[in-house]
Chain A
Amino acid sequence: AQSVSQHNHHVILSEAASLELGCNYSYGGTVNLFWYVQYPGQHLQLLLKYFSGDPLVKGIKGFEAEFIKSKFSFNLRKPSVQWSDTAEYFCAVNAPSYNTDKLIFGTGTRLQVFP
């Protein structure tokens, strides 16, 4: 079945620590990949997306993600987290070869950053 897996459900870090959140998907063919963030009390916002070209994608607030096709992965990274990065992070995939624009989301990773 088509799915998106986020293996880290809850991550706790101190400020200035490095972050890597895993995302794997199970689609064949062309995929478009997204990371969304949901800050406490706010709605989902796009962090970054990949649809073609350079597999290393840079997003807002210092986040980046690398698409590794052979590993079906799109991990999110940030070299030094801040307290304000505390949020829920969702990886999502769109597979145009399935003739739909819908997003399939992972279950999310809750990140807590302590000062």
Chain B
Amino acid sequence: GAGVSQSPRYKVAKRGQDVALRCDPISGHVSLFWYQQALGQGPEFLTYFQNEAQLDKSGLPSDRFFAERPEGSVSTLKIQRTQQEDSAVYLCASSLGALEADTQYFGPGTRLTVL
């Protein structure tokens, strides 16, 4: 595709529900990143993959957050037992992964609202 796509664009969940957010990176991009952006804040790093390997998950806020990229392409971010503080925009980005200072290309985000 032309860019990074994410689905759904909007998700409303009741507290305690599990949600799954999908990211389709730019074709051929090796690296894939997840960020969380709270209202009025900059994006905060959650985790990233190089192909199917999860190289850094230091930003995941709790063990309720889980990400996978089993075939090195599409990625899913899963949040179990959602809480109100999980309400945010979840951004996915991808990059070629070949060089330092690779540009990360961002998707439109999924806005999660937990009631």
A105 touching B42, Cβ below 8 Å: yes
Tell me if B18 is interfacial: C-beta within 8 Å of chain A.
Answer: no
A49 touching B101, Cβ below 8 Å: yes
B42 touching A101, Cβ below 8 Å: no
CB contacts under 8 Å to A, within B20-64, are 31, 33, 35, 40-45, 48, 55-56, 58-59
Number of A-B contacts (CB under 8 A): 65
- Nearest chain A residue, comparing its CB with the CB of B109: A43
Set of chain B residues within 8 Å of A104, measured between Cβ atoms: 45
DSSP majority for the B interface?
loop
- Nearest chain B residue, comparing its CB with the CB of A98: B56
A106 touching B42, Cβ below 8 Å: yes
B45 touching A90, Cβ below 8 Å: no
A103→B92 CA distance, assembly (Å): 12
- Nearest chain B residue, comparing its CB with the CB of A32: B101
A43 touching B100, Cβ below 8 Å: no
Nearest-Cβ distance from residue B89 to partner chain A, whole angstroms: 10
A103 touching B109, Cβ below 8 Å: no
Q: Which one of B41, B97, B106 lies within 8 Å of A44 (CB-CB)? A: B106
Given known pairs A43-B108, A51-B101, the reply for A101 and B43 (CB within 8 Å) is no
Taken residue by residue from 91 to 111, chain A's Cβ proximity to chain B (1 for < 8 Å, 0 otherwise) reads as: 010101000111111111000
Given known pairs A32-B100, A94-B101, the reply for A105 and B107 (CB within 8 Å) is no
A positions within 8 Å CB-CB of B: 4, 6, 32, 36, 42-46, 49, 51, 90, 92, 94, 96, 100-108
7 more A-B residue pairs beyond the given contacts A43-B4, A92-B42, with a C-beta to C-beta distance below 8 A: A32-B100, A43-B106, A43-B107, A43-B108, A49-B103, A103-B45, A108-B41
